Amino acid sequence: MTPGSTAPLYLLPFDHRHSYVTGMFRFTTPLTADERNRVAESKRVIYDGFRQALSERMPGPRAAILVDEEFGASILRNAVRRGYVTALSTEKQGPGAIRT
């Protein structure tokens, strides 16, 4: 396979769902609306840190985020509008998947 680019790409992954929800917050499923909002807001804090790094030291075309759509849809929309490189995690539903 021929790579599309040889330039470095610094990827900030915060696409965790099950382990993040159960390990960081100690929430159990199904999540309440308040719990879902708390998880989504915590991911917003991570994204704000990414944006701060871009404004101070990281060259934009070399930085990217990887976030899940379940809790990070608004983050992805904002990042795309700003022209950031984005990646979206996908996974098959199964044991350990967050269900609402």
3-state SS record for the chain: CCCCCCCCCEEEEECCCHHHHHHHCCCCCCCCHHHHHHHHHHHHHHHHHHHHHHHHCCCHHHEEEEECHHHHHHHHHHHHHCCCEEEECCCCCCCCCCCC
Query: Do the domain assignments include residue 33?
Result: yes
Q: CA torsion sign, 67 to 70 to 74 to 76?
A: positive
| Mean pLDDT of all residues in 34-44 | 97
| Mean pLDDT of all residues in 56-67 | 83
Contact indicator for 17, 40 with CB cutoff of 8 Å = no
Query: Do the domain assignments include residue 31?
Result: yes
Query: Do the domain assignments include residue 95?
Result: no
* Per-residue confidence (pLDDT) for residue 33, from 0 to 100: 97
The pTM score is: 0.81
The number of folded domains in the chain is 1
Structural domain containing residue 23: 10-88
Query: Do the domain assignments include residue 18?
Result: yes
What are the pLDDT digits (tens) for 82-98?
A: 989 999 877 666 665 55
Query: Do the domain assignments include residue 45?
Result: yes
Query: Do the domain assignments include residue 2?
Result: no
